[in-house]
Amino acid sequence: MKLHELIGYLHPFVDYKGENPEITSIENDNRRATPGSLFICIKGYTVDGHDFAESAVKNGAAAVLAERELPVNVPVIVVKDTVRAMAVLADAFYGQPSQKLHMVGITGTNGKTTTSHIIEQIFKDAGQKTGLIGTMYTKIGEQIFEVKNTTPESLTLQKTFKRMVDEQVDTAVMEVSSHALVYGRVHGTDYNVAVFTNLTQDHLDYHKTMEEYRKAKGLLFSQLGNAFNHEKPKFAVLNSDDPASDEFAMLTTAHILTYGIDNHADLQAINIAMSASGTSFDLVSPFGVKKVNIQLIGKFSIYNVLASIGAALVSGLPLEDIIASVEGVKGVSGRFEVVDAGQDFSVIVDYAILLTVLKMS
């Protein structure tokens, strides 16, 4: 792709009429720059990529994207925010792959990992090839890859989406962290469905206040349906029992489906019965009342299942098939995982690092 064509995807428009080299890759690590690379300077907490632009050029970089002018002998494109620009350019360079997938994004303090795995299982049971990106790993079909962050940086993310497209994945399900939303890692990603689990006190070392944390989560919904491919219907699946959902509903232009237990919702669990081996409840839905028996325990598991049912339902899957699928889910490794080795006592492996998780158990 030529440089002029690539930077034409940037908003606001960048008025550049200089040299027009062929761009063969996009890199933000000078050590990975090769002939034809566009090197993007990212200013981090401890290291500033602008200091390595000259090194990238020596390695063959054909152009540099920066937040200030630099004394290098290749074209320098200056933008206000290279992190967000990188996300948009990566999306464009890899052929806007998220627009070719059915994209489901899940955000919230708790439940993202379990909910993403349940949703992925539903789509697999529906005969689709799936992709999964989250805290535990990235998965393409049955191939599993290690990850460093819950939500990878944009270059890795868009490259992963491109690989999913190449390997004929139908639906991609991913956890979307608040850090990724603030840093702009998912900027340029076109979601069909955005799911909100809950908002409790966490990550305040970064966000400082709950208000800032809530605003960060809200970015997924404010961007949903406001850009990209308008032919694809957008849906927000919101937890009616969490007050933050009211704000997110006002932020989005997408269609909204709610779920909950305590408050009225489009999908509501009533007549709940729990045992050591599972949970049953009546699901009140626009399609009537259905009995659901899951192999998961805890009130939080009901929320995760309701969110998953909602995401699958707005994606067009039949409710009966969705229920059959969630009833077969046995849980996620390390997430309130019941260990049965024939012992006469209960063993549960969990990732309960937050008080709110323990209270819902």
CATH number at residue 58: 3.40.1390.10
Q: What is the pLDDT of residues 159-185, one digit of tens each?
A: 999 999 999 999 999 999 988 898 889
pTM: 0.88
| Average pLDDT rounded to a whole number, residues 245-258 | 95
Residue 292 lies in a domain: yes
pLDDT at 135: 84
Give the tens place of pLDDT for each residue, 285-315: 999 999 999 999 999 999 999 999 999 999 9
What percentage of the chain exceeds 70 in pLDDT?
Answer: 88
Quick one: what percent of the chain has pLDDT higher than 90?
A: 74
Residues 164 and 301 in one domain: yes
- Assess if residue 229 is contained within a domain: yes
Task: For residues 63 and 147, give the distance between their C-alpha atoms in angstroms, rounded to a whole number.
Answer: 29
Residue 211 CA to its chain's centroid (Å): 21
Do 115 and 65 share a structural domain?
no
Together in a domain, 184 and 213: yes
Check whether residue 44 and residue 183 sit in a common domain.
Answer: no
CATH number of the domain within which 167 lies: 3.40.1190.10
Q: Which residue has the higher pLDDT, 344 or 28?
A: 28
Whether residue 354 lies inside any domain: the answer is: no
pLDDT band at 229; cut points 50, 70, 90 = low
Residue 167 shares a structural domain with residue 307 = yes
At residue 226 the predicted structure's pLDDT band, cuts being 50, 70 and 90, is: low
pLDDT of residue 211: 84
The answer to whether residue 359 is domain-embedded is no
Q: What angle do CA 212, 217, 220 make, to 5 degrees?
A: 135
**Of 175, 42, 186, the residue nearest 119 (C-alpha):** 175
E strand or H helix at 51: none
Q: What is the mean pLDDT of the chain?
A: 90
Please name the amino acid found at residue 313. Answer: L
- Range(s) of the domain holding residue 65: 3-93
Domain count, the chain: 2
The CA distance from 83 to 66, in Å, is 10
**pLDDT grade for 5, boundaries at 50, 70 and 90:** very high
- Given this model, what pLDDT does residue 45 score? 84
Mean pLDDT within 63-86: 96
- Predicted confidence at residue 305, as pLDDT, reads 98
Please give the structure tokens belonging to residue 169. Answer: 């994945």
In DSSP terms, 174 is beta-bridged to: 105, 133
Residue 168 sits in the same domain as residue 219 = yes
Asked, for residue 348, whether it belongs to a domain, the answer is: no
Helix 319-327, helix 112-125: angle, nearest 10: 120
